[in-house]
């Protein structure tokens, strides 16, 4: 009888251990599943300003969900820091929460809460750094000045955009010629940006890409094709051949970059009634009255 008694006690103890282990395993699995159900990811179309939180179609513990957002970026002033925000799911998109109007390069704390019968519980919390955003040199506050051998791009920085540095990639098109990438550190106190591209050939197209960088992340590039001015005409000579014909000759640089030339002429007695004549490449033209 004694042996049987001890056997029963051992069996009960073993069953209790197995039950406790099973509960622990179920708890861990549920926690891992909840982490995946409430995934927090930057929006693929606007990773500098929007975040999507995935929601389950049904949840046994909660009836609704909310996302509370706090700007936790370090070493910035209160004027630049974003305000606290709360977002909920919408009828149009009940299975996710779209967090929007965030600021490029800022770090945010995203806390997901579940609600049921008037009570609220924290489900998970993560911090996310938004992608930086490249400056727009086509905006109203920007200016692009093109010369024969250089291009200068200017713009006013958006105070709410945070970045560590900028890179400028540019290359000549047809014939292809690549230039070294320019790396420029951002100075937060500096309000104006000015990028200078030099040693360019006159009259050529250049592909330009400007990229902002923050914490190892790169923005989508600002891309444009810019064309330098052609070289000016040199040594223009005009000779009168007959009473109704003049000969115009000129010289240019070997690589002027010009696609064509236009001559405008008119009678001195009626200068407003002018005539325009365009030519592709000849450097000698006969004009008839």
Number of domains forming the structure of the chain: 3
Q: Measure the CA–CA gap between 139 and 160, rounded to whole angstroms.
A: 16
Neighbours of 251 (CB within 10 A): 11
pLDDT band at 139; cut points 50, 70, 90: very high
Evaluate whether 195 touches 153 at the Cβ level (below 8 Å). yes
Q: Identify which has the larger pLDDT, 229 or 259.
A: 229
Q: Which of 227, 256, 274 is the last residue of a domain?
A: 227
Tell me the whole-structure pTM to 2 decimals: 0.79
Q: Measure the CA–CA gap between 151 and 259, rounded to whole angstroms.
A: 19
Residue 6 in this model has a pLDDT that exceeds 60? no
Task: Give me the pLDDT at residue 20, please.
Answer: 42
Task: Give me the pLDDT at residue 70, please.
Answer: 98
Task: Look at residue 110 and tell me if it is in a domain.
Answer: yes
pLDDT band at 31; cut points 50, 70, 90: low
Statement to judge: residues 112 and 42 lie in one domain: yes
Statement to judge: residues 197 and 157 lie in one domain: yes
Statement to judge: residues 212 and 260 lie in one domain: no
| Span 199-231, pLDDT tens digits | 999 999 999 999 999 999 999 999 999 999 998
Most confident segment among 52-66, 129-143, 273-287 = 129-143
Segments forming the whole domain that contains residue 80: 38-129
Closest residue by Cα to residue 106 from 59, 42, 155: 42
Statement to judge: residues 256 and 217 lie in one domain: no
Task: For the chain, state the CA radius of gyration.
Answer: 35
Statement to judge: residues 42 and 121 lie in one domain: yes
Task: Look at residue 1 and tell me if it is in a domain.
Answer: no
Task: Look at residue 61 and tell me if it is in a domain.
Answer: yes
Statement to judge: residues 238 and 222 lie in one domain: no
C-alpha pair distances (Å), 26 with each of 232, 236, 274: 80, 90, 90
Give the residue-averaged pLDDT of 138-148. 96
Task: Look at residue 31 and tell me if it is in a domain.
Answer: no
The burial of 198, by beta-carbon neighbours within 10 Å (0-12 exposed, 13-18 middle, 19 or more buried), is given as exposed
Residue 15 in this model has a pLDDT that exceeds 60? no
Torsion of CA 210, 215, 217, 220, to 10 degrees: -30
Statement to judge: residues 159 and 223 lie in one domain: yes
Locate all alpha helices (DSSP H) within the chain, ordered by sequence: 2-37
Residue 163 in this model has a pLDDT that exceeds 60? yes
Statement to judge: residues 95 and 110 lie in one domain: yes
Q: Which of 129, 161, 195 is the last residue of a domain?
A: 129
CATH of the domain at 77: 2.60.40.10
Task: Give the DSSP H or E segment for 152.
Answer: strand 151-156
Task: Look at residue 12 and tell me if it is in a domain.
Answer: no
Q: Any idea which of 52-61, 65-74, 274-283 has the lowest mean pLDDT?
A: 274-283
Q: Measure the CA–CA gap between 253 and 235, rounded to whole angstroms.
A: 11
Neighbours of 195 (CB within 10 A): 19
Sequence length of the chain is: 289
Task: Look at residue 134 and tell me if it is in a domain.
Answer: no
Statement to judge: residues 105 and 88 lie in one domain: yes
Q: Which of 203, 227, 251 is the last residue of a domain?
A: 227
Task: Look at residue 16 and tell me if it is in a domain.
Answer: no
Task: Look at residue 10 and tell me if it is in a domain.
Answer: no
pLDDT band at 275; cut points 50, 70, 90: confident
Statement to judge: residues 181 and 198 lie in one domain: yes
| Span 179-194, pLDDT tens digits | 999 999 999 999 999 9
Q: Any idea which of 32-41, 43-52, 279-288 has the lowest mean pLDDT?
A: 279-288
Angle at 118 between CA 113 and CA 123, to 5 degrees: 15
Give the residue-averaged pLDDT of 271-288. 71
Give backbone dihedrals phi and psi of 110, rounded to 5 degrees, phi first: -110, 115
């Amino acid at each position: 009888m004694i042996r049987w008694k001890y056997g029963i006690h051992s069996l009960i103890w073993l069953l209790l251990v197995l039950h406790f282990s099973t509960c622990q395993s179920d708890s861990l699995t549920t926690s891992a599943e909840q982490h995946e159900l409430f995934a927090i990811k930057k929006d693929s179309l606007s990773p500098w300003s929007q975040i999507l939180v995935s929601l389950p179609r049904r949840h046994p513990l909660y009836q609704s969900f909310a996302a509370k957002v706090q700007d936790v970026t370090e070493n910035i002033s209160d004027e630049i820091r974003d305000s606290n925000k709360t977002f909920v799911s919408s009828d149009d998109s009940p299975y996710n929460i779209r967090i929007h109007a965030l600021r490029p390069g800022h770090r945010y704390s995203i806390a997901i809460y579940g609600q049921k019968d008037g009570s609220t519980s924290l489900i998970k919390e993560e911090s996310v750094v938004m992608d930086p955003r490249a400056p727009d040199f086509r905006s109203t506050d920007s200016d692009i000045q093109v010369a024969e051998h250089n291009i200068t791009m200017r713009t006013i920085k958006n105070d709410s955009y945070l970045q560590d540095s900028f890179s400028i990639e540019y290359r000549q098109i047809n014939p292809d010629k690549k230039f070294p990438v320019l790396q420029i550190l951002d100075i937060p106190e500096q309000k104006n940006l000015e990028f200078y591209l030099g040693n360019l050939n006159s009259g050529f197209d250049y592909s330009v890409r400007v990229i902002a960088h923050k914490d190892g992340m790169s923005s989508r590039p600002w891309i444009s094709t810019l064309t330098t001015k052609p070289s000016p005409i040199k040594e223009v000579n005009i000779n009168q051949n007959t009473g109704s014909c003049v000969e115009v000759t000129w010289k240019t640089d070997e690589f002027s970059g010009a696609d064509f030339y236009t001559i405008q002429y008119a009678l001195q007695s009626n200068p407003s009634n002018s005539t325009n004549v365009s030519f592709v490449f000849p450097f000698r033209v006969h004009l008839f009255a």
